Chains A and B, each alone.
Chain A
Amino acid sequence: MAGTVTPHDAKTLIEQLPILQVLVPFCTAPLIVLIGSRRMAWALAFAAAVISLVISYALLMQVYGGGFISYQLGGWAPPLGIEYRVDAANALVMLLISAIATVTLPFAYESVKDEITSKNHTLFYACFMLCYTGLMGVVITGDAFNVFVFLEISSLSTYVLVAQGAGRDKRALTAAYDYLIMGTIGATFFVIGIGFLFMSTGTLNMADLADRIAEQGTNRTIHAGFAFIVVGMGLKAAMYPLHLWLPKAYTFAPSAVTVFLSATSTKMAIYVILRFMFSIYNPDFIFALNVMFLVFMPLALIAMFSASFVAVFQVNFKRMLAYSSIAQIGYMLLGIAIFNLSGLTGTMVHMFNHGITKALLFMGVGALVLRTGSSFYNNLNGLGRLMPLTVAPIVVGGLSLIGVPGTAGFVSKWMLVQGAFENGWWVVAILIVLSSLLAVVYVWRAIEVLYLTEPAEGAKMAEAPMSMLIPMWILAIACIWFGVATDLPLGAASTAAEVLLSGSFGMVE
């Protein structure tokens, strides 16, 4: 070897950003366990979340106007090697996930202390980081099998996190068990789907898969693979008839976990559905079109109404929000079914906006649980007067959930309605508005309890601690900010929708 000069191909930090995005939280998890200090655990997790938030933002800015970043793991060129591929669609989802993690962790500090036995705290934060790693990995990777691996990393740690609610209510254990069974069936369906794709194309790289399917056309195997992938990911996304795990898991999980999961985990699954549907299968693929029109649209509409309807009759604030989540996932699927630029932009923006809205609302419930020990409405009477600073952001979140103009929720619903009109589906547009009226009912019920009922005799409630108030207010301001200044999410989302609709995985012809 002497005498030969190996070419120096070290990369700059900027070029290494995609891998750091996954590595930072991934390395933090074992570090937290090894150090084993409760105080350090939180600090390390928070530091990792902040670093990856910065990275997400940097990545989004690089692909904001279109184009993509390809990162080859270990220098092995795709399609043989594993590739991380960042374009506007997944950069936006990554920004959402890392932003939510960054605001959830300060919130979690007090909430976890209150709800989880102290000997589990370090492991809790380690699991949290692993879950976060998995979500990031699923979103960033450009390799179909890699999606499954990261999916399982995030799922397994999610089951553990949900089960941590057992200290307050033992039903958290059965909720986690049910989620484990359904989640594993979903993930296994997804692997079968990928197996079928590999069988007929011989590749696992997403961009390469797309090329080969376009080249050779489709066959029965590819159709079957598509069905398996949609059902598998539908389970993870709590798509209407596959949503049974969600209300229980969200109700009984610790507050901080619910905040994080509601805002990220189902959105990640929706993203994967989008990615497979549009980037791998050609959007002109007639089979996919039928699936959208005949399967996604009716299911989305049923979800919007039935889940909202169930939410109206809940006596538990947290459970009400869980059902509302199923309805909101219906909106996202509807955007996919509408299948035009506005509709898809609506889906992408709604993922983002609903993420921050729902995180805010679950945080509000978590803060109330910390002070009153219960999330049932009758224990929350009149709290709006006793702790105005804690309850005011909940109202903002509620308005955004309804889609009142001036809040983030309005922007995404507006895009969906616009998309429906462009297709001439005015019935669908009216249904979107009608189901928002159901949201008015269930949000109003919460507001009525919090403001218009008499607080219990002589009750004195302190405001939630600062570590909770600040994240809540940040999200509340974000809800309004993104409802007024819509440039960032809407711009990124419409670029993302264009990328997806062009069906070329960010490769501009």
Chain B
Amino acid sequence: MDWDFIAGHVNYWMFIVLMMTGLYIVVSSGNLVKKIVGLNIFQVAVFMLYISIGKITGGTAPIFPSDRQGHLEIDPTIVYSNPLPHVLILTAIVVGVATTSLGLALIIRIREEFDTIESDDLVKIEQQLTSADNKEHGEAMGGMA
């Protein structure tokens, strides 16, 4: 664990910090929109992890140059970065966008039905509904709900 190791892995440290920040926001925040934002940060952290994996020191873009006839000029001395993780992350970005939009759409519907997007209030409303259910149906069953 010397300075070079720490400085050389700066993107991994950032990944860990971002990931934990995102996860913390999801868990701790009471506002449904903020939860979605936290989820986004969490996912972006993973993009960073994947992109870091593909990077090779001194590596360039993995495009083989070709001459005018279309023959590839492959030079074995050139180091290329691994394009695969980058491509994978394109898919993950699309998934992230879809999740975010679906989450926001759900929040709009929740706002319409419950008149709030604070999870404390939502929990309270739901507990009232549930205990009303239990009271009504539990007593009818002869129990003490």
Contact = CB atoms under 8 A, between A and B. Distances in A.
Contacts, number: 92
Nearest to A203: B84
A181 B33 CA distance: 11
A160 interface: yes
Nearest to A196: B49
Contacts of A379: 137
Contact of B110 (A145, A160, A174, A191): A174
A400 B92 CA distance: 41
B106 A315 contact: no
B145 to A, nearest CB: 7
Given A199-B53, A316-B137, A184 B99 contact: yes
A472 interface: no
Interface residues of B, number: 40
B95 interface: yes
Interface residues of A, number: 34
Interface string B115-129: 000000010001001
A177 B110 contact: yes
A198 interface: yes
A378 B53 contact: no
B50 A195 contact: yes
A184 B126 contact: no
A163 interface: yes
A126 to B, nearest CB: 15
Given A174-B110, A174-B122, A192 B26 contact: no
A148 B93 CA distance: 12
A163 B109 contact: yes
A493 B99 CA distance: 35
A176 interface: yes
A185 B49 contact: no
Interface string A147-185: 011001000100110010010001101101100110011
Q: Which of A378, A379, A449 has the most CB of B within 10 A?
A: A378
B49 A181 contact: no
Contacts of B126: 171, 174
A166 B133 contact: no
Interface string B58-97: 0000000000000000000000000011001001100100
A173 B145 contact: no
Interface string A377-410: 1110000000000000000000000000000000
A376 interface: yes
B23 to A, nearest CB: 7
Contact of B99 (A156, A173, A377): A156
A177 B32 contact: yes
A316 B145 CA distance: 13
A148 B46 CA distance: 13
A149 B114 CA distance: 33
Nearest to B36: A181
Contacts of A62: none
Contacts of A218: none
Contact of B102 (A145, A159, A192, A198): A159
B53 A180 contact: no
Given A195-B49, A378-B140, A315 B133 contact: yes
Contacts of B17: none
A188 B137 contact: no
Nearest to B95: A152
B33 to A, nearest CB: 11
Contact of B137 (A149, A160, A378): A378
Contact of B133 (A148, A176, A316): A316
Given A181-B39, A185-B23, A378-B140, A195 B106 contact: no
B42 A185 contact: yes
Listed residue (A171, A204, A379) with the most chain B CB atoms within 10 angstroms of its CB? A171
A13 to B, nearest CB: 29
Contacts of B85: 195, 198
A180 B49 contact: no
Interface string A300-330: 0000000000000001100000000000000
A315 B109 contact: no
Given A160-B102, A177-B32, A195-B49, A377 B137 contact: yes
A38 B74 CA distance: 57
Interface in A428-451: 449
B50 A180 contact: no
A376 B50 CA distance: 48
Contacts of A159: 102, 106
A204 B99 CA distance: 24
B134 interface: yes
B143 interface: yes
B7 interface: no
Nearest to A159: B102
B98 interface: yes
Chain A CB within 10 Å — which of B42, B114, B137 has the most?
B137
Nearest to A182: B26
A380 B35 CA distance: 39
Contacts of A191: 46, 92
A163 B69 CA distance: 57
Contacts of A174: 110, 114, 122, 126
Contact of A192 (B46, B113, B133): B46
A320 to B, nearest CB: 12
Contact of B39 (A145, A166, A185, A378): A185
Given A177-B32, A177-B106, 7 more contacts: A170-B114, A171-B129, A173-B110, A180-B99, A191-B92, A192-B46, A376-B137
23 contacts: A148-B92, A152-B99, A159-B106, A163-B106, A170-B114, A171-B126, A177-B106, A177-B107, A180-B102, A181-B35, A181-B103, A184-B39, A188-B43, A191-B92, A192-B19, A192-B49, A195-B46, A195-B49, A198-B85, A315-B133, A315-B145, A316-B133, A376-B136
